Amino acid sequence: MTDLKRTLGEAAAAAFAELGIPPTLGRVTPSDRPDLADFQSNGAMAGAKVAGKPPREIAQYVVDRLAGDPNLASVEIAGLGFINMRVSPAALSVRANEIAADDRKGAVEVEDSRRVIIDYAGPNVAKPMHVGHLRASIIGEAVKRIYRFRGDVVLGDAHFGDWGFQMGLLIVAAMDEIPFVRALMERLVTAPGGFSEADSQRVLQELGNHITLADLDRMYPEAAGRAKTDVEYRDRARKATAELQGGRFGYRLLWKHFVNVSRVALEREFHALGVDFDLWKGESDADPLIAGMVDELQAKGLLVEDQGARVVHVARPGETKKKKLEDGSTVTVPSPDPLLVVSSEGSAMYGTTDLATILDRRKSFDPQLILYCVDQRQADHFEQVFRAAYLAGYAAPGGLEHIGFGTMNGPDGKPFKTREGGVLKLHDLIEMAREKARERLREAGLGSELEPDEFEEIAHKVAVSTLKFADLSNYRGTSYIFDLDRFTTFEGKTGPYLLFQAVRIKSILRRARNEGVEESKISVKEPAERELVLMLDAFGAATAEAYDKKAPNFIADHAFKLAQAFSKFYAACPIMSAETDAIRGSRLRLARATLEQLELALDLLGIETPERM
């Protein structure tokens, strides 16, 4: 099933090719003057330079070739050689019925499916999520859904931060604060003889009686702050980290408890946001591969000694940048910087773990593409890691991509914070959105007749739509200002507006069902019907664009324009009071097709619609 833009584009491209002009110049786009045409092709001007003919002569040839196309009611030349096309009502009717009957609502799959891993969210043990995790979670989830919808085999990985120095800090803090933990860790240095898996589970259960998530939330920042000034405390944490990574039995059990408690809470919070993962692989999963990987990098001649550390030089010959020294002078150095693999103290570094993670993913899933949905400010880091992976043969060139994003800012234009200036927890932001959603629903007189539980469920969906659409309606690479009051309104380009339009259509369909009104074949006659069908036809192009550019905003834009087109259609073309049964049935079927595509688009964004408000 091909959309009208592509069908007309292929016909125009063939006409250009007959003149010896590159067929790509026959590209067809939606008209920027809908009052004059539905689609346009502007390639005659560029084609004139290739063919050595006047633009209008080229345009006339294309017009003559397209004149008999049954999809077109008219095709004309405007200005210097612009080609304007208006689709015939019959073609629009055929296309509308195709979309209505299609499970994919007019969108097609990619020709060649790929295995893809999307790395996003990046939660950490013992660290509650804050607004900085919001964009990674929302964008990554949407990209995952879009890639699956287009036909790829996709795994979403939370890339859990469950290893490293913060674990040593928590171990020391728990042993200092809780006598039971200290005594247990002193006893379980190594696994006792006959210590079974059931024994381990009993220990973990007992640890749950002594260390809760609230304890972790409190202990970690206190320990991290103390380690900055207390050298002896920091050294103890470093030693605990080394012993944990070396396999100390008691520390491993304690660490497992930290991971379990944190993950249960994180999964609950993510799920409430409509974000779910296929994998919860952590940094700990890559750790066993690091020693062998370092040996392999050494054997391949990629590791180089550098001031006691070992690095991989990832810059190509001749790639340089100017570096400013402390005395104000500048020197020319290779660019990008080398990837630090082993520190001068012999420790694996952040980049080492990321490189080992790529190796782990290759061994376990062999993805053809790995996408990293991480803050744009990490771009330099990923360039180093990706280049090292390519040099080592851990990924094919182009198989790793950082899809960065900007920041979510407050009204002051700075990263969103609490009124006191602290980092806002994601849980608190979601509750703020819920409270504002309740307020908006009551202001609009919506949901007053509902039971409390159903009202709360709707308020939650409105809140999630607020947060997600506010983010995804922007191109991911840009920063944006988050305004809770503006984004929770039921008017304008907001998530709640889209939910309201979906609920409105559901109400119409319920009424039709209750009155026994049947749907029938769609027949496009009125201007507002034309506009709505043309918008339905644009869904395939929007999903393809979102897929190619890893940018969900193209689908968000389509959903908003579709809702607007329906609103205009609903005002101009009465459904239940239409003059004949055939018109009423046609418009009812068109309304259902709109709802199904709108809900599909919103689902790709991770937004769920309620049945009523």
CATH superfamily of 281-402: HUPs (3.40.50.620)
The reported pLDDT for the residue numbered 348 is 85
Angular region, 79: left φ>0, alpha ψ -120 to 50, beta rest: left
How many Å apart are CA 188 and CA 590, to the nearest integer? 68
The reported pLDDT for the residue numbered 320 is 80
Kindly compute the dihedral angle of the four CA atoms of residues 216, 221, 225, 227, in this order, to the nearest 10 degrees.
30
- Please, where in the chain does CATH 1.10.730.10 lie? 465-604
Q: Which residue has the tokens 């061994």?
A: 363
**End-to-end Cα, the chain, rounded Å:** 35
**Res 318 pLDDT > 90:** no
The tokens describing 91, both together, are 């073609």
CB contact at 8 A, 251 and 169: no
What is the distance of C-alpha 418 from the center of its chain?
25
What string of DSSP letters covers 169-212? HHHHHHHHH-HHHHHHHHH-SSPPTT--HHHHHHHHHHHHHH--
User: What phi, psi does 415 have (nearest 5°)?
Assistant: -45, 135
- Please, where in the chain does CATH 3.30.1360.70 lie? 4-87
- Could you read off the pLDDT of 507-561 as tens digits, one per residue? 999 999 999 999 999 999 999 999 999 999 999 999 999 999 999 999 999 999 9
Which long-range contacts (C-beta less than 8 Å, at least 24 apart) are formed by 577-582?
581/520, 582/520, 582/523
pLDDT-based confidence at 317, cuts 50/70/90? confident
Mean pLDDT in the chain?
94
How many Å apart are CA 476 and CA 603, to the nearest integer? 18
The reported pLDDT for the residue numbered 208 is 92
- Least confident residue range of 66-80, 119-133, 141-155, 394-408: 119-133
For the chain, percent of residues with pLDDT exceeding 90: 84
Task: Indicate the DSSP class of residue 376.
Answer: G
How many Å apart are CA 349 and CA 309, to the nearest integer? 11
CB contact at 8 A, 360 and 107: no
Residue closest to 10 by CA, chosen among 52, 56, 77, 62: 62
How many Å apart are CA 494 and CA 485, to the nearest integer? 11
pLDDT-based confidence at 322, cuts 50/70/90? confident
Residue closest to 59 by CA, chosen among 46, 72, 73: 46
The reported pLDDT for the residue numbered 172 is 97
**Res 418 pLDDT > 70:** no
CB contact at 8 A, 474 and 520: no
* E runs forming strands in 351-462: 369-373, 400-402, 408-409
CA distances from 326 to 208, 323, 331, 334 (A): 51, 10, 11, 18
**Res 206 pLDDT > 70:** yes
- Could you read off the pLDDT of 11-40 as tens digits, one per residue? 999 999 999 999 999 999 999 999 999 999
Helix or strand run (H / E) with residue 78:
strand 72-78
CB contact at 8 A, 500 and 492: no
Task: Indicate the DSSP class of residue 332.
Answer: E
CB contact at 8 A, 613 and 447: yes
**Res 333 pLDDT > 80:** no
The reported pLDDT for the residue numbered 336 is 87
CB contact at 8 A, 567 and 491: no
**By CB neighbour count within 10 A (0-12 exposed, 13-18 middle, 19+ buried), where does 363 fall?**
exposed
The reported pLDDT for the residue numbered 476 is 95
Q: Which residues contact 123 (CB under 8 A, 6 or more apart)?
A: 129, 133, 158, 160, 161, 262, 266, 270
Length in residues, the chain? 613
The tokens describing 540, both together, are 């395939």
Helix or strand run (H / E) with residue 339:
strand 339-342
Residue closest to 136 by CA, chosen among 152, 153, 118, 148: 118
Pair type for strands 369-373 and 400-402: parallel
**Res 192 pLDDT > 90:** no
pLDDT-based confidence at 83, cuts 50/70/90? very high
CATH superfamily of 4-87: Arginyl tRNA synthetase N-terminal domain (3.30.1360.70)
The reported pLDDT for the residue numbered 448 is 83
User: What phi, psi does 576 have (nearest 5°)?
Assistant: -70, -25
CB contact at 8 A, 283 and 146: no
Task: Indicate the DSSP class of residue 448.
Answer: T
Please list, residue by residue across 468-501, b when 16 or more beta carbons sit within 10 angstroms of its beta carbon and e when fewer do: bbbbbbbbbeeebbbebeebbbbeebbbbbbbbb
For the chain, percent of residues with pLDDT exceeding 70: 99
pLDDT-based confidence at 159, cuts 50/70/90? very high
- Least confident residue range of 186-195, 235-244, 299-308, 376-385: 186-195
pLDDT-based confidence at 395, cuts 50/70/90? very high
**Res 420 pLDDT > 70:** no
The tokens describing 329, both together, are 């002078």
CB contact at 8 A, 470 and 553: no
- Could you read off the pLDDT of 428-449 as tens digits, one per residue? 899 999 999 999 999 999 888 8
Mean pLDDT of 1-5: 88
Residue closest to 370 by CA, chosen among 112, 111, 114: 114
Residue type, 25: L
How many C-alpha atoms does 416 have within 13 Å on its Cβ side?
23
How many Å apart are CA 63 and CA 53, to the nearest integer? 15
465-604 fold: Isoleucyl-tRNA Synthetase; Domain 1 (1.10.730)
The tokens describing 36, both together, are 């004059």
How many C-alpha atoms does 190 have within 13 Å on its Cβ side?
2
pTM, rounded to two decimals: 0.92
Q: Which residues contact 369 (CB under 8 A, 6 or more apart)?
A: 114, 115, 116, 117, 399, 400, 401
How many C-alpha atoms does 340 have within 13 Å on its Cβ side?
14
Residue closest to 200 by CA, chosen among 254, 248, 240, 243: 254
Which of helix, strand or coil describes residue 166? helix
